[in-house]
Structure 1
Amino acid sequence: MRHNIHLGVTGLRQTGKTVFLTSLIYQLSELGSKGLSRFEPSGVTLRAATIEHSRDRDKERFPYMGFLKGLREKPPRWPAPTSRESGLVLRFFYENQGARGKVDTVRNWVGLGKSQGTIALHLHDYPGEYLLDAGMHDMTFEEWSSETMDRMANYCPDEAAEYRKAVEAADNRAAANILRSLRTAYARYAQAARRQGLEFIQPAMTLISWNERCDSSDQLPEPTEDELPFVPLPSSSDSEDESDSEIEQLRKQLTASFDKHKKRRVKPFLKRIRKCNNQLVLVDVLRILQNGKHAYNDTRQCIAEILRAYHTAWKPFGGINRALFAATKADHATKNSRSNMSKLLDALVTKAKGQLKGGIRTPESEWFTSIRVTKDAKERDGEKREVLNGTVKGRAEGPLNYLCGKVPPEWPNDENWVFGNPAYAFTEFEPTQLPTIDGSLWPHVNLDRVIWKILEGCF
């Protein structure tokens, strides 16, 4: 039998999308199912895959070889974050020695015993920020402005107040000057939100390059027109005789830019992700724990927007029909608390799951580590305690034993759960140098379970 799986892989900033894809491609192209313990009891064997170009001309080739080289250098480098769409195809043969009789999609009986076939796994890597703009598809500029202004006031009240002052000071000024001052004020809000670990900052698609400039600069960079083509405006209460004022002229300009963004960026993207019948969304629950309740509420909204985008892209025949959410960086938490990551992830997506309609299956949850960079240890400073052994990010010495945070079984619900609370601090680690010999096993945690869930419908 022949199977085609179109897998969209996404997640918010720094969730490990490129690391996952690099690890997945290496595993399937070099090893097949070797070392994937989840496959053994099922009697499924995967042969090593061939790597092919994607047939989608609008998509760049995922730079796998460059990322592989960086992970093998001394010192090793993490792959660069996802900033644009890319992809490739893995084609491999499978054999199922433990197959049982089942009925396939066209109601034909697949016999008892051995089954075999080929799988073409089409990988589509795209920034999670693209999904955050999908909700604009059904919104007007006025509706978007109202929601954005409310979000600003809720999460960053000081910056929201400054933004309103910039709007109120706009009288008798040229539209270009008004827009320049509003872009600056909105950039201050975006920076403050980012510092709190917030992600839902729109227009997310175009702000990716500005976010990259922020990460590489000590000063707040001024967003360009391409990076911030429109900003929110409060609802107009002007009388008719003021309809030609500069602020109303600006409103017309921003409305046109908003509609252009939907037409040229949002709608084409939704059309492209319809091709991905399976979606994998990576979530960094440890980062949310560190950043506090504002980050939690913000991420819940992000996940709701992601599932809303999937629902918008769904169609009765074909299109998105399955989503898997996975908590990443499990090796950054102590061993006995890692399984709680799945509980936290389930709680995070519960509301959004209940709002799903159409033919999309209820999303599943998993926790894993694509490339393990720590080892479990039981001693620090002569005391017996659960610790992690690794090289801390930014430090030359190592690997050493470090006390690290434990993942609670449920999300905190108290006033002390705020950004920077040491009770929920998790250490960031540098990558470990990977074997330079092709075909060597890479260390991971539960990667086999994630791969199985991606492919299990074929067996």
Structure 2
Amino acid sequence: MQTSFFQHASVQLSKQKLKTTAARLVNHHVNLAVTGLSGSGKTAFITSLVNQLIEANESAHLPFFSVVRESRLIGVKRDVQPNLTLNRFAYEDAMSKLTQPSPQWPSSTKGISQVRLKIKYKKSQGFSKYLTEDATLTLDITDYPGEWLLDLPLLDMSFLQWSAHCEEELNDPNRNELAQDFFNAVAELDLMAKGDELALQHIAQLYTKYLNDCQAHGYQLLQPGRFILPGELSGAPVLHFFPIASKQLEQQDVDFSNLIKGSNAELLVQRYEHYKTQVVQPFYKEHFKRFDRQVVLVDCLSALNRGFHSYQDLQKALDWLMGSFQYGSSNILNRLFQPKIDKLVFAASKADHITPDQQTNLVKLLESMLHSARKQIQFDGVVTESTAIAAIRASKSGLGQLNGESIPVLQGTSKQGTAITLFPGEVPQHCPEPEFWLQQQFEFPKLSPPVMKAEHVLPHLRMDQILDFLLGDKLL
């Protein structure tokens, strides 16, 4: 019996070599960063993204995710995460809270966490399709506290420059009022005297209280981020520093080029520089520079609720955030030696808190907020997308009657657990002028998660479109 040419040993060996070469040329790995400031919905987003993928072949509703629509998705499973020193993303805990009889939102991000998924699919095109019918994409998703992200620009700032930045922020009347205890304490500090660690610790605690009070009043451009969420650094001297106003530096004749050894001023500078080199820089090198896809979540509605100062501060914070990432078109060599983010989604979260007719306005509002930062990103060759999403949909839309006319309304559950039906109001396409806020205010609702009953798939808005934008080109 003759052996088929295609079964010959040398042909099989050549075929195996071709498979190996094809595997090296085809990218089967995506590092996804999910970023956003506190309260933007990062934990809910990652929970939903994992849920949609794992349940994609069951009852998930993903009509715009091409690999599902074309029936090419074989299956998705969670795998051991690559960095064993990071927290495991608490997907099971989040799902437990969401599926209990009185559902609760997942706990917010307190530190770095990670999840790895293996996505097995049938190939649709390309040379490698003829070598093997299916492939597996590894997806690593990393979650960070939003507060830590704002520290990255400090790497390019000296202590004096950072103090000048903070002083500019403190000129805001609301911030200034919140900082009075800090002002009073730091004014008594002799910068040229021998270093007093207890005094520095006390003043740093007052500065931390000021930052937390600012966050409670809707401000988001707050540094250093570890002061708000210290993690394992809680109580460490590396967090016992604070900015000094230029007037105090002049009054005490502080010369930063020739600081007195062991003085309070020298200790402040040393701790600031140590914070940059030992806390911020490793965080950047170990994590941020390896990402190649990114989602930036923005809670525009909460900023509108809090007022003009909160909206403006969020916009400034996003500008800072965008300058901290490496952007640029990716190719094989870049991916191997210097990964860069080449696809970026800007997502206005909590789109289910407004009626469907207002979601277009929400996207336009987001785009107006990101206008300056986005121009540079697009110039660098990054493919960007703006959208409005609800990672976990908490409302249903419908029509109600007002003065004999039909109006769009939402039905959901309030934070107190009562059923509500309301028209949340119109969303502006851009930030209203300051005068507007003196006469009117926004009151977009805060909703509880939906009751899941026996379902396993989280309801959502546009998560399938997000998945297709981020992964569709890797699943061909």
Residue 241 of structure 2 is matched in structure 1 by 230
Q: Which has the larger radius of gyration?
A: 2
Aligned to 1:273: 288
Report the more deviating stretch, 27-36 or 423-432: 27-36
Q: Matches of 1:82 and 1:369 in 2, distance apart?
A: 18
Match of 1:250 among 264, 274, 280: 264
SS in 1 for 2:138: strand
Q: What's the counterpart of residue 288 of structure 1?
A: 303
Describe the shift of the 1:188–1:267 C-alpha distance in structure 2 as closer, same or farther (beyond 3 A).
Answer: closer
In the aligned structure 2, how far is the partner of 1:241 from the partner of 1:227?
22
The answer to whether the 8 Å contact 1:274/1:313 transfers is no
State the match for 1:442 in structure 2. 458
Cα offset, 1:57, TM superposition: 2.2
> Which of the numbers 409, 431, 442 marks the counterpart of 2:449?
431
CA distance in 2, matches of 1:268, 1:174: 28
**TM-score of the superposition, structure 1-length normalised?**
0.84
From 95, 100, 121, give the equivalent of 1:73.
100
AA aligned to 1:390 is G
Aligned to 1:157: 176
Q: For 2:195 and 2:263, how far apart are their aligned partners in 1?
A: 10
Contact kept in structure 1, 2:45 and 2:391, CA below 8 Å = yes
Instruction: Determine the structure 2 residue equivalent to 1:413.
Output: 433
Kept in 2: contact 1:340–1:409 (CA 8 A):
yes
| 1:388 to 2:410 alignment | yes
1:129: which partner in 2?
Answer: 147
Q: Are positions 1:47 and 2:66 aligned together?
A: no
Q: How does 1:179-328 map to 2 (within 5 A)?
A: 179-209=200-230, 224-225=235-236, 228-235=239-246, 236-237=249-250, 238-239=252-253, 249-271=263-285, 272-311=287-326, 317-328=338-349
Tell me, yes or no, if structure 1 residue 86 matches structure 2 residue 113: yes
| 5+ long unaligned stretches in structure 1 | 102-108, 211-222
Greater CA drift, 84-93 or 406-415: 406-415
Q: Select between 335-344 and 200-209 the one with higher mean Cα deviation.
A: 200-209
Secondary structure class of the residue paired with 1:35 = coil
Q: Which moved more, 1:191-200 or 1:327-336?
A: 191-200
Equivalent position of 1:14 in the other structure: 39
**Structure 1 CA distance for aligned equivalents of residues 41 and 115 of structure 2:** 18
Tell me, in whole angstroms, the C-alpha distance in 2 between the residues paired with 1:122 and 1:444.
Answer: 22
Residues 314/304 of structure 1: CA separation in 2 closer, same or farther (3 Å cut): farther
Compare 342-351 and 44-53 and name the one that shifted more.
44-53
Amino acid of the residue matched to residue 233 of structure 1?
Answer: I
The superposition leaves residues 305-334 of structure 1 with CA deviations (integer Å, 9 ceiling, x where unpaired) of: 211110399995323333221111000011
Shift of 1:95: 3.2
Aligned counterparts of 1:278 and 1:455: Cα–Cα separation in 2:
9
Does the CA contact (< 8 Å) of 2:237 and 2:271 recur in 1? no
Whole-Å separation in 1 of the counterparts to 2:104 and 2:181 = 40
Q: Is the 8 A contact 2:35 2:146 kept in 1?
A: yes
Q: Relative to structure 1, is the Cα distance of residues 226 and 128 closer, same or farther in structure 2, using a 3 angstrom cutoff? A: farther
Match of 2:18 in 1: none
Larger displacement relative to structure 2 (49-58 or 189-198): 189-198
Q: Give the Cα separation in 2 of the matches to 1:261 and 1:195.
A: 25
SS at match of 1:147: helix
The secondary structure found in structure 1 opposite 2:29 is: strand
Deviating 4+ runs (over 6 angstroms): 240-246, 312-315
Amino acid at match of 2:344: A
Query: Are the structure 2 counterparts of residues 245 and 164 from structure 1 closer, same or farther at C-alpha, using a change threshold of 3 Å?
Result: farther
CA–CA distance in structure 1, aligned partners of residues 415 and 230 of structure 2 = 24
- Between the two proteins, the alignment pairs up a number of residues equal to 430
Q: Under a length normalisation based on structure 2, what TM-score does the superposition of the two structures give?
A: 0.81
CA displacement, residues 149-178 of structure 1 (integer Å, 9 cap, x when unaligned): 111212513245654443333348973454
